[in-house]
Copies of this chain bind each other. A is one copy, B any other.
Amino acid sequence: MSLLVTGSIGIDTIEAPAGKRPDVIGGSAVYFSFAASFFTRVRLVGAVGEDCPPSLLRVFDGRDVDTAGLEIRKGSRTFRWHGSYVKDLNEAVTVKVDLNVLAERAPAIPPAFRDSSHVFLANTHPVLQQEMLASLSSPQLVVADTMNLWINNEGKELCKLLTKIHGLVLNDGEARMLTGRKNLVTAARDVLKLGPKFVVIKKGEHGCLLCSGEDLFVLPAYPTEQVFDPTGAGDSFAGGMMGYLATQQEPTPAALRRALAYGTVVATFTISDFSLAGLQNATRQQIDQRLAEFQRAMSF
């Protein structure tokens, strides 16, 4: 099994009630890779500009992340995002965003990565997601993320993508926007009609749900008081989920359920500190301990 992720690598500036962190590493592929690397080796595909300080990329040193697909693009600038959670820890306010390299062509997938069995297409333009998917030989499990921008403006391309993937991960607002349904179970069932075999709807501080033709699974959020920086929570969730799935023979209902629980738990480490610090200080043993605590916290 081999897990590939394509997504953003960026430089974030974060403001939260607990303080401000300028110029820290971020991006969907970074959080995903870190989270997934607790479970399996991750092949990262993404691009930064030549302005990206090498010190930031050293964040992958010692992690089980293959950065052969990390392109440092000459003449380009790195994606930057400045967000604030000062008003509400549950909702990021974008202070400033510079797409930079993300607005250019997709990064190339190295030939050695084309046989990847598990693929996560982090949120980006659905045309780029399809292009990257097309350059893979025969992935066993492809899961994608998306966002309101593409649902609103690129519905046709998004629908094409949805017929080519196995799973879709999105948040509650996006699921409602995509299907026009308020009830999330109904929305999930409608997503399945668009192509995916399963859909995961993330509800932030309220947990998540999984719907497939054969299963309906609901999870509360892990009850935590330690929320310092929610940046990357969704990508860490996806990383924990896909990392675990890449260790399983088949994405059975039982494997998918456990994958969502791992995703939930891994994300609690992310939000417990700024940027990657929470994940950097976590161990697989702690993750497994927290998974057991989570199970105890919801058993009756």
A interface residues (Cβ-Cβ under 8 A, vs B): 88-90, 182-186, 189, 203, 205-207, 209, 216-225, 227, 254, 257-258, 260-261, 295, 297-300
Taking A206-B206, A261-B300, A300-B295 as contacts, is the C-beta distance between A219 and B220 under 8 angstroms? yes
Taking A220-B218, A225-B185 as contacts, is the C-beta distance between A207 and B209 under 8 angstroms? no
Query: CA–CA, A219 to B299, complex, Å?
Result: 9
Taking A206-B206, A220-B218 as contacts, is the C-beta distance between A183 and B300 under 8 angstroms? no
From the candidates B205, B218, B224, B254, name the one contacting A297 in the complex (CB within 8 A): B218
Query: CA–CA, A83 to B89, complex, Å?
Result: 32
Chain B residue nearest in CB terms to A221 = B218
**Could you tell me the distance in whole angstroms from the C-beta of A198 to the nearest C-beta in chain B?**
14
Q: Is the CB of B183 within 8 A of A225?
A: yes
Query: CA–CA, A182 to B203, complex, Å?
Result: 16
Query: CA–CA, A27 to B181, complex, Å?
Result: 30
**Could you tell me the distance in whole angstroms from the C-beta of A46 to the nearest C-beta in chain B?**
31
Query: CA–CA, A185 to B220, complex, Å?
Result: 13
Residues of B within 8 A of A295 (CB): 300
Residues of B within 8 A of A299 (CB): 257
Q: Is the CB of B207 within 8 A of A206?
A: yes
Query: CA–CA, A185 to B205, complex, Å?
Result: 11
Q: Is the CB of B209 within 8 A of A218?
A: no
Taking A220-B220, A221-B218 as contacts, is the C-beta distance between A183 and B227 under 8 angstroms? yes
